[in-house]
Amino acid sequence: RAKIFQASTSEVYGDPSQHPQTEEYWGNVNPVGPRSCYDEGKRCAETLFFDYRRQHDLRVKVARIFNTYGPRMHPNDGRVVSNFIARAKIFQASTSEVYGDPSQHPQTEEYWGNVNPV
């Protein structure tokens, strides 16, 4: 059980050149890109947590959260989950857009019958 929990993000990987990312993958981050302050901020937070663990022998856990969604997310924010829901509403789940190369994500599966347009 952790004494301290850090909610991190998949953004620490930047624009990954490896799919899916393993725990050993360090990422492909542009430190001066337009969104770099967010990516680097999360990377810095993780670094500080692990430095603190090493210095004080404290149990820490870091979760790198991917594709979060919730009831108050904006339907047009451009993320995968909101785009999926918006397209399901428009097309009644008969079509969908695939992002990237589907062979990169062999474990990702969706059961279209569970999509219930609101």
Active-site residues, by number, are: 38
The residues, ordered by sequence, that sit 6+ positions from 19 with a Cβ below 8 Å of its Cβ are 100, 104, 105
